[in-house]
Amino acid sequence: MVKTPRVYIDTSVIGGCCDPEFERWSNGLLKDFEMRLLLPVISEVVAAEIAVAPREVKARFAELLDCEPEIIRRTPTANDLAQAYLDRAILGANYRNDALHIALASVADIDILTSWNFRHIVHFDKIRMFNAVNLLYGYKAIQICSPREVTYHGNQDN
């Protein structure tokens, strides 16, 4: 039996559903979740960020909740790992939530983390540094990529 990948999505992926540049792949990823090709995972950090998002993004988030995502809670362990990323200056203190997304997914042993944040998350050098810290703290390296690299439906030509 093949294991269905658990895919953590950060807030940018949900917002991407309403952005012409990213909607094809973000909406394709939501379709993959609806069809149970991939298992959605979010965190309470995502929920808090959505609380201040535009109405249309909140509506897409509600649709995602219909897919019954796994919801990861903040823990002292995840907070410590996020702080380790910040202490090593992988991200600045103003980007703590970005560090938390990666730490939460790492601690929860997620298969893939997806984001449209190419500056702080989906960035070759940063991914290497996040994974170096993960290995130092006893976690596996985490696969980080954009929804374009993950979705089945967003990559179909219609």
- Give dist(CA 75, CA 41) in Å, integer: 16
Check: CB of residue 6 under 8 Å from CB of residue 70. Answer: yes
The pLDDT of residue 156: 67
Nearest Cα residue to 5 out of 104, 113, 103: 113
Q: Is residue 71, in this structure, part of any structural domain at all?
A: yes
Q: Is residue 158, in this structure, part of any structural domain at all?
A: no
CATH classification of the domain holding 42: 3.40.50.1010
Reply yes or no on whether the pLDDT at 56 is more than 60. Answer: yes
Reply yes or no on whether the pLDDT at 152 is more than 90. Answer: no
- What is the count of structural domains for the chain? 1
Q: Is residue 156, in this structure, part of any structural domain at all?
A: no
pLDDT above 70: percentage of residues in the chain: 98
Domain extent at residue 46: 6-151
Q: Is residue 127, in this structure, part of any structural domain at all?
A: yes
Q: What is the pLDDT of residues 78-133, one digit of tens each?
A: 999 999 999 999 999 999 999 999 999 999 999 999 999 999 999 999 999 999 99
Reply yes or no on whether the pLDDT at 157 is more than 90. Answer: no
- Give dist(CA 109, CA 104) in Å, integer: 9
Q: Is residue 157, in this structure, part of any structural domain at all?
A: no
